[in-house]
Amino acid sequence: MSEGLLLLAGGRVIRGRSIGVEGEAFGELVFTTSISGYEETLTDPSYNGQIVLFTYTHIGNYGAWTGELESERVWAEGVVVRDACSYPSNAKSRGTLRDFLREHGVVGIEGVDTRALTVAIREHGTIPAAMVCGDVGSVDLGGVRERLAAWRYEVDLVRETTCGRVEVLGKGRKTVALLDCGVKHGILRRLVDSGVTVLRFPAWASADEILSWGPDGVLVSNGPGDPAVLGYAVETVKRLIGRAPMMGVCLGHQLIALAMGCRTYKMKFGHRGTNHPVKDLKTGKIHITLQNHGYAVDPRSLEGKGLRVRQVSLNDGTIEGLEHEDLNLLSTQYHPEGKPGPSDGAGIFDEFLVML
């Protein structure tokens, strides 16, 4: 088995064993607390630009290609685990996690003290990292460090994950225009199964183009990266607000806030995993939610914008949902469809559909 290296900004080098393809990868090292759902996690476009560290000890126990993926490819730049299961137990599986990573051309390493790395990220924040797998003895590590030093968070990752043209999905009585910033298939399935027609637009689509289709509502999807660099999407959302009922999910939630004149900020280590508790201040209910985000809406910027906090994180008090006092407008920072994980908060989709 070939060797793998994880190089952290600052100079630290961690050795492990390669479980993916030979090659290099650069990205933001983040951790997720999900125990299962690794296939859905890795194919979630929101992980574009990130190296994913799984905190759970054993990953790959039930194999790969076991269910519905969240996109056509793996978006994570690389994968770090303590132990990758070599002998999965699942009648549906047709391969291992190693096979899955190799088929998708992704680097990965195992044999790493993921607990220590997680503690370091929690204490110091997410960090740029590089992965080198294969014949590491022949790699110019100095050159890798130079490229790592030049790596930046503040880039537009959405243009890589969005669709390239307008797509029509489903056949229902009502029509929802979906601004695709890197939408998960689970959201598309949830809408189509609810009996609506989904018009999937590229993230750079203009408000006029979207409105020309006459949608009954607008959904701004999840996606990767910093919302503050997506000026074109913010402008589109701003022009659509008030023209039709609107819902935002994850990055979409942040884009709506920016369009309303609020601010966002980068979190120290973000929220990623399937076990995040969220309280709905309107109903008093507590939901266990799927989350994947490294940015949040600044509550100090809400004053005078007509927005009120609907949901909050019980872990750190950050905003998890917004609604407008007068407009048909609501958003969630978490992923209400689950996929993977719980769908406790999926009722928010029903509220949106009622608005239509």
Q: What is the DSSP string of 328-354?
A: SEEEESSBTT-SSS--GGGHHHHHHHH
How many residues appear in the chain?
356
**Burial of 162 by CB count in 10 Å (0-12 exposed, 13-18 middle, 19+ buried)?**
buried
Q: Would you say 354 and 195 are in contact if contact means Cβ atoms under 8 Å apart? A: no
CB atoms within 10 A of CB 179: 28
Task: Read off the DSSP letter of residue 136.
Answer: G
Q: Which two tokens stand for residue 34?
A: 């999900």
CA distance 170 to 174: 10
The catalytically annotated residue of 133, 250, 271, 324 is 250
335 tagged catalytic:
yes
Within 104-230, residue ranges assigned H as helices are 114-124, 141-150, 158-161, 185-193, 207-212
Q: Whole-angstrom distance between the N-terminal and C-terminal Cα of the chain? A: 55
The catalytically annotated residue of 253, 287, 324, 335 is 335
Task: Read off the DSSP letter of residue 48.
Answer: T
- Position of tokens 């508790």? 277
Task: Read off the DSSP letter of residue 148.
Answer: H
250 tagged catalytic:
yes
253 tagged catalytic:
no
Phi-psi region of 284 (alpha: psi -120 to 50; beta: other; left: phi over 0): left
Residues classed as catalytic: 250, 335, 337
